[in-house]
Structure 1
Amino acid sequence: MPTNQPTPAQIKRWRGYLANEQAEAAAYRDLAKRREGEERDILLALADAEHRHAAYWVEKLGPDAENPPKADVKTRLLGFLARRFGSVFTLALMQSAETRSPYDDDADASRQISADERIHAEVVRGLASRGRERMSGNFRAAVFGINDGLVSNVALVMGVMATGVPAQIVLITGVSGLLSGALSMAAGEYISVRSQTELLDASLPDPKAREALHALDVESNELELVYRARGMSEDEARAKASQVFQRISDQKRISDNVLGSTEIQCAGSARSAATFSFLSFAIGAFLPIVPYVFGMEGLAGAVVSLVVVGLSLMATGATTGLLSGKPPGIRAVRQLSIGYGAALVTYVLGLLFGMIL
């Protein structure tokens, strides 16, 4: 057999690469259909790059490139999500997939293809970051609030149940934990956002100060001190002040931002943040007590509660992983471990407390 003849194992691997590249190109095109302007152009360019990669494997395979197999499960899932949703979550998953390129350890793949995949991961990271920035802050607060409610109340319920008290006491304790935790979260969020808003308001220029610009002494140039106080160097402040006085002398309209050197974002509504925190924590804290609401008790109630909480923890963990651009599976398992770990600790403490009593 000639030395340049690919082995059956190589052919199988290359055909898999070809199928995945074709599926990824289609996924990027499907995503592009849901975008406009620059983002659409970027996604189409990525699709073209994946098509070039597919052509590389077609050339190496020759006749064996015909009728390639289906793409792997992960790539097909990305294609399905791209066709049906096209959201920031799909981009985050694609970012993770591009980061784990199989070409780095494969001598059959060209260095250019391997480098392309690395760059693709950064391009998708940038697009996903845009989506995360556009995503509502209230959505983030809801995800994290649900997670907090899950962990805190399942730990409380498991600890109280371990003492051997009746199911009714477990339910009352769980409801109390729900209300106290939700109210605490809402109050804390309200105070935090309100304080941030007041702090930002204190940093904004006083509108009345703008009215004094026309009466300033050009020679002493007090306006220069304003700019220096806001962080400009002496030369920069003098030049900026001179520009303002020139505009005044030319009787041009002074911009509302003439005293401001930076843009300050609004901190958002304190009431809205408090409401979302209350509701999201309450939803998360309600799940551990669901079986007790329906009259379950003892071991059966604990098992159902842990199953419901476990599934919810994995869902919130995967979501927070996607929001942060990390692999959702790892974050889901980590969140599950943290929640169950907290429940185990309080359960053991409850057993000990029950023995003492």
Structure 2
Amino acid sequence: MKHREHHKTHRVGWLRAAVLGANDGIVSTASLVMGVAAAGAGADNILIAGVAGLVAGAMSMAAGEYVSVSSQADTERADLDLEQRELAEHPEFEHREMTAIYVERGLDPELAAEVATQLMDHDALGAHARDELGISDTLAARPVQAALASAGTFAVGAALPLLVVLLAPMPAIMWAVAGSSLLFLALLGALAAKVGGAPVFKAASRVTFWGALAMALTAGVGALFGVTA
């Protein structure tokens, strides 16, 4: 009988960026809309502010993700280059280093030395990258993927409260945006948890709580400093 395990780790890179983008899109745009609405702005001004927030936020997410993940990729590349030089110049030391790693993980010294020998004969740099540095193909930094995932999902997330602004009557905009955005956040948290294999209720509650707090604070600032039309 076949036994198949469906792990989720390979989704970590793009899932993190996608959830971050969508969450920021909903929270920042909904908060902006509520802050402007609480200040007494009209529907047109609220919509303009929201669209501007969508464009600026998507570009900011893309740039931020690309720069930060590129820095991670640069560090990984530098470590791999250093490890490649060490393997060429001090192969015996590197073999002892790998042996010590496997002994620490529970193998007896003889077996650990044999495992290190076989893995290094097969792919020395790959073995050291994975077991010494913690770098693997699954978790390697991918700047372009992270930037596109964050920007795209931010735009989708930001579009949801803007759609509510277009459809809701002016007197009900704040409540409509707040209620629908909390629903969107709960669904996002649940979906992300489902895709990642994590507890659904915990994830949905977490994003909903922080989204509600952000919207409440922004609306409060808008009401405090705004001028009623």
Could you tell me the TM-score, scaled by structure 1's length?
A: 0.49
Q: Partner of 1:194: helix, strand, or coil?
A: helix
Mapping of 1:1-357 within 5 angstroms? 37-39=2-4, 130-135=6-11, 137-205=13-81, 209=85, 222-225=90-93, 255-257=122-124, 261-263=128-130, 264-266=135-137, 267-294=140-167, 296-322=168-194, 323=196, 325-326=198-199, 328-355=200-227
Q: Partner of 1:325: helix, strand, or coil?
A: coil
Q: Name the aligned partner's letter for residue 187 of structure 2.
A: A
Contact 2:23–2:154 (Cα < 8 Å) also in 1: yes
**CA apart distance, 1:159:** 0.6
Mapped partners of 2:141, 2:69: distance in 1: 7
Mapped partners of 2:201, 2:126: distance in 1: 49
Q: Name the aligned partner's letter for residue 261 of structure 1.
A: H
Partner deviation per Cα, 1:22-71 (whole Å, 9 max, x = no partner): xxxxxxxxxxxxxx8223xxxxxxxxxxxxxxxxxxxxxxxxxxxxxxxx
Contact 2:29–2:161 (Cα < 8 Å) also in 1: yes
Point out the structure with max Rg over C-alpha.
Answer: 1
Alpha-carbon spacing, 1:317–1:211, altered in 2? closer, same or farther (3 Å): closer
Alignment: residue pair count: 210
**CA apart distance, 1:208:** 7.9
Mapped partners of 2:86, 2:153: distance in 1: 43
Partner deviation per Cα, 1:221-242 (whole Å, 9 max, x = no partner): x544555788959xx9xx97xx
Contact 2:185–2:204 (Cα < 8 Å) also in 1: yes
Q: From the two aligned structures, give the one with the greater helix fraction.
A: 2
**CA apart distance, 1:300:** 2.4
Unaligned runs of 5+ residues in structure 1 are 1-35, 40-126, 214-221, 245-253
Contact 2:72–2:141 (Cα < 8 Å) also in 1: no
Q: Name the aligned partner's letter for residue 347 of structure 1.
A: A
Could you tell me the TM-score, scaled by structure 2's length?
A: 0.73
Unaligned runs of 5+ residues in structure 2 are 102-108
Q: Partner of 1:135: helix, strand, or coil?
A: helix
Mapped partners of 1:207, 1:349: distance in 2: 52
Contact 2:189–2:203 (Cα < 8 Å) also in 1: yes
Question: Quick one: percent identity of the two aligned structures?
Answer: 34
Higher relative contact order (CA 8 A, sep 6+): 2
Alpha-carbon spacing, 1:230–1:320, altered in 2? closer, same or farther (3 Å): same
**CA apart distance, 1:158:** 0.2
Contact 1:205–1:260 (Cα < 8 Å) also in 2: no
Alpha-carbon spacing, 1:258–1:343, altered in 2? closer, same or farther (3 Å): closer
**CA apart distance, 1:315:** 0.4
**CA apart distance, 1:177:** 1.3
Q: Name the aligned partner's letter for residue 201 of structure 1.
A: R
Mapped partners of 1:132, 1:259: distance in 2: 22
Provide the aligned C-alpha RMSD in A. Answer: 3.7
Contact 1:193–1:273 (Cα < 8 Å) also in 2: yes
Mapped partners of 1:187, 1:284: distance in 2: 17
